[in-house]
Amino acid sequence: MTLADAFTPGTFVDAFRFMPDHAGLLLSKTAEHIELSFAALGIALVLALPLGLWLGHRHRGLFVAVSVSSLGRALPSVAVIAFGITLLGVGFWNNTAALVVLAVPPILTNAYFAVDGVDANAVEAARGMGLTELQILLRIELPLGLALVVAGVRIAAVFVIATATIAAIAGGGGLGEIIVNQASYGLAGVVAASLCVSALAFLTALALGLVRRAVSPRGVRRA
């Protein structure tokens, strides 16, 4: 994991030359990166979203939501990946499992607070009109809190893409494989791959930011 000794800003020029020369490599690694990240994000969504929404609806488990959130923030991604290797060995599923662990907290916490914070009067009115609990959650609370839910997914997505880079040390593939392997790809390759993964993270964040804006109910401003 040593890096070359000569560093100059000119490296960036080399990196931009590297890109067209190795377009096929970068594209396939980017595809792997997306595959790994989205698999983890998808699993985390399935696990955390219903739980967070339901806890928020019941206004239960504030302690769980807060603890999961701060523990999630405190868990060093490197340690989680390394721990995953010792436990599950090297490979795609090991990495996915580690990434899921890191993606769950922001999704769970935001889903909880999104639903928990919905105006109690609106919920009471809905209950008074005879909506079932599930209908209240899906038709009243979720639309009102959706922007905050998406904000949590955005944080998780950025985090997962970043950590998937580190996961390359555990042989999961993706752009990280180039970044941590300067011996094979040279500094130009490392920088080029870094730019690719940054662009990927930025575009994902941008897209989810637009989604968040689109699902913000008109006439409702939430912090």
Partner 1 sequence: MIPSFGQGSACERTNGWWCTDWLRDHWGDTLQPALLQHVELSLIAVAVGFAIASALAIAGFRFRLVDAPVGALADFLYTIPSLALFQLLVPLTGLTETTVEIALVSYTLLVLYRNMVEGLRGVPADVLEAARGMGLTRVQTFVRVELPLAAPAVLAGLRIATVSTISIATVAAFVIPKGLGEPIFVALNQNLFKTEILAAGGLAVALALTADGVLVLAQRLLTPWSRLR
- The secondary structure of the chain, three-state, reads CCCCCCCCCCHHHHHHHHHHHCHHHHHHHHHHHHHHHHHHHHHHHHHHHHHHHHHHHHCCCHHHHHHHHHHHHHCCHHHHHHHHHHHHCCCHHHHHHHHHHHHHHHHHHHHHHHHHCCCHHHHHHHHHCCCCHHHHHHHHHHHHHHHHHHHHHHHHHHHHHHHHHHHHHHCCCCCHHHHCCHHHHHHHHHHHHHHHHHHHHHHHHHHHHHHHHHHCCCCCCCC
For the CB of residue 178, give the shortest distance to partner 1 in the complex, in Å: 10
Residue closer to partner 1 by CB (options 50, 76) is 76
For the CB of residue 200, give the shortest distance to partner 1 in the complex, in Å: 9
Residue closer to partner 1 by CB (options 53, 201) is 201
Residue closer to partner 1 by CB (options 46, 214) is 214
For the CB of residue 74, give the shortest distance to partner 1 in the complex, in Å: 4
Residue closer to partner 1 by CB (options 39, 53) is 39
For the CB of residue 145, give the shortest distance to partner 1 in the complex, in Å: 19
CA dist., res. 51 & res. 62, Å (int): 12
For the CB of residue 66, give the shortest distance to partner 1 in the complex, in Å: 11
Binding site residues, partner 1, CB under 8 A: 1, 3, 7-12, 70-71, 73-80, 82-83, 85-86, 158, 161-163, 165-166, 169, 176, 179-180, 187, 190-191, 193-195, 197-198, 201-202, 204-205, 223
For the CB of residue 163, give the shortest distance to partner 1 in the complex, in Å: 8
Residues 100, 40: contact at Cβ < 8 Å?
A: yes
CA dist., res. 182 & res. 159, Å (int): 23
Residue closer to partner 1 by CB (options 134, 206) is 206
- Which tokens belong to 169? 């040390």
Residue closer to partner 1 by CB (options 77, 96) is 77
Q: Please, how many CA atoms are within 13 Å of residue 163, restricted to the half-sphere of its CB?
A: 29
